[in-house]
Amino acid sequence: MFMNLRTLKYDDKLLNFFGLDRERIRLLKIVPSSDPEAYGSISSGALKNTRITGCLGDQSAALVGQQGFSEGCAENTYGTGCFLLYNIGEQPVISKHGLLATVAYQFGKNAKPVYALEGSIAVVGSGVKFLMNNLGFISHSHKISELATTVPDNGGCIFVTAFSGLFAPYWIDDAKGTIFGITQHTERGHIARATLEATCFQTKAILDAMEKDSGHAPAELAVDGGMSNSDLCMQTQSNIIGIPVDRPAMRETTSLGAAIAAGLAIDIWSHFDELKEINQKDRKIFEPAISKKESAKMFKQWSRAVEMCRGWLDEEEAIEEE
């Protein structure tokens, strides 16, 4: 928040904006993602004196774990929320479409940093837990797909899961969770499908914003995280974004990315080419199975629902909730 993306140093303008005085606070040292000397070592326990040589934030680690080292690589982690990172190369792009610009990684203090655009979705796995804990639709989170497959489609239901407003790229803080299209024929399975689709639609909105900001679109989307275990959800995701979805068999890519960063620092690997065989076995590719026209129609309906969910909180109510 306080770092200049170009210089990779603390920015005096930002510090002044937030009312922070360098002389009165101790700012953490800014270090690269991978370095043999930057972090010190473990002080106690079985791994005492083991050097710490890599450090990445969750989403950057997932991008590295998916080996998204080339410009145009996109990675999405489906957890409680959802976080999508898009590699934009060695020059930062300041978003004009509701995204965040960030440093994806820097492997070595003399290496050029690689930048990314980032978009986040507030409600993903927590939406499934809402169906389980609040509505009693399912007994376990993993049964969401089983329930959703009891019906052939969403039955006209659109679920805008804006429990705490909508995040990227919309940034609508006065929205509330809203279900549109309910009829006397609506079943639990329809709402289950609509819950999964809500994540897929928001992911498409973020990818569209990334294309507008960067000037190019990803060829595929690498995925991981709990909800990526659902074949139905990942197939739906591919249908809606119109590109392949690539899911590894081992989906703990955040941990893998941290290990890669540490390994690069101490020459376990010296080049990205040496990583090519890691976590490649039994990957599953989901290809789009509907037409672009049908996908566009679905997304248009979603976008209409998003506009209709605006303004459920007036200004005074929003202040009270905060």
Q: What are the distances in angstroms from CA 56 to CA 25, 72, 215, 258?
A: 24, 20, 27, 6
Q: What value does the mean pLDDT take over residues 193-215? A: 98
Please indicate, yes or no, if residue 321 is contained in any of the structural domains.
yes
Q: What value does the mean pLDDT take over residues 204-213? A: 98
Strands (E), 154-244: 158-160, 178-180, 221-224
Give yes or no for residue 322 having a pLDDT over 90.
Answer: no
The parent domain of residue 79 ranges over 58-254+273-322
Residues in the chain, how many?
322
What CATH number did the domain enclosing 233 receive?
Answer: 3.30.420.40
**pLDDT tens by residue, 57-100:** 999 999 999 999 999 999 999 999 999 999 999 999 999 999 99
pLDDT of amino acid 315:
58
Confidence class of residue 314 from pLDDT cuts 50, 70 and 90? low
Give yes or no for residue 317 having a pLDDT over 90.
Answer: no
Give yes or no for residue 3 having a pLDDT over 70.
Answer: yes
Q: What value does the mean pLDDT take over residues 24-35? A: 92
Please indicate, yes or no, if residue 312 is contained in any of the structural domains.
yes
Please indicate, yes or no, if residue 19 is contained in any of the structural domains.
no
Strand 245-247 relative to strand 284-286, pairing? antiparallel
Residue 91 carries which side chain, given as an amino acid letter? Q
Contacts of residue 19, defined as CB under 8 A and 6 or more positions apart, other chains included, come to none
Confidence class of residue 38 from pLDDT cuts 50, 70 and 90? confident
Contacts of residue 71, defined as CB under 8 A and 6 or more positions apart, other chains included, come to 87, 88, 89
Strand 74-78 relative to strand 221-224, pairing? parallel
Please indicate, yes or no, if residue 20 is contained in any of the structural domains.
no
Token code pair at residue 98: 């509701």
Q: Which of 80-89, 230-239, 247-256, 309-318 has the lowest mean pLDDT?
A: 309-318
pLDDT of amino acid 69:
97
Please indicate, yes or no, if residue 34 is contained in any of the structural domains.
no
Residue 68: name the closest of 303, 227, 279, 238 by CA.
279
Which residue reads 């003399």 in tokens?
110
Please indicate, yes or no, if residue 30 is contained in any of the structural domains.
no
Return d(Cα 93, Cα 80) in angstroms, integer.
27
Number of domains in the chain: 1
Please indicate, yes or no, if residue 24 is contained in any of the structural domains.
no
Contacts of residue 177, defined as CB under 8 A and 6 or more positions apart, other chains included, come to 123, 159, 160, 161, 162, 163, 309
Q: What value does the mean pLDDT take over residues 201-214? A: 98
DSSP letter (8 states) at residue 65:
H
Mean pLDDT (the chain) is: 94
Cα 100 versus chain centre, distance: 12
pLDDT of amino acid 316:
54
Q: What value does the mean pLDDT take over residues 279-294? A: 96
Give yes or no for residue 175 having a pLDDT over 70.
Answer: yes
Cα 44 versus chain centre, distance: 34
Confidence class of residue 20 from pLDDT cuts 50, 70 and 90? very high
Return d(Cα 131, Cα 134) in angstroms, integer.
6
Confidence class of residue 157 from pLDDT cuts 50, 70 and 90? very high
Q: What value does the mean pLDDT take over residues 285-300? A: 97
pLDDT of amino acid 289:
98
pLDDT of amino acid 319:
53
pLDDT of amino acid 109:
87
Residue 151 carries which side chain, given as an amino acid letter? V
Return d(Cα 281, Cα 284) in angstroms, integer.
9
Please indicate, yes or no, if residue 21 is contained in any of the structural domains.
no
Residue 42: name the closest of 31, 58, 53, 32 by CA.
53
**pLDDT tens by residue, 119-149:** 999 999 999 999 999 999 999 999 999 999 9
Return d(Cα 144, Cα 297) in angstroms, integer.
25
- How many CB atoms lie under 10 A from the CB of residue 126? 15
In the chain, the percentage of residues whose pLDDT exceeds 70 is: 97
Return d(Cα 1, Cα 9) in angstroms, integer.
11
pLDDT of amino acid 39:
87
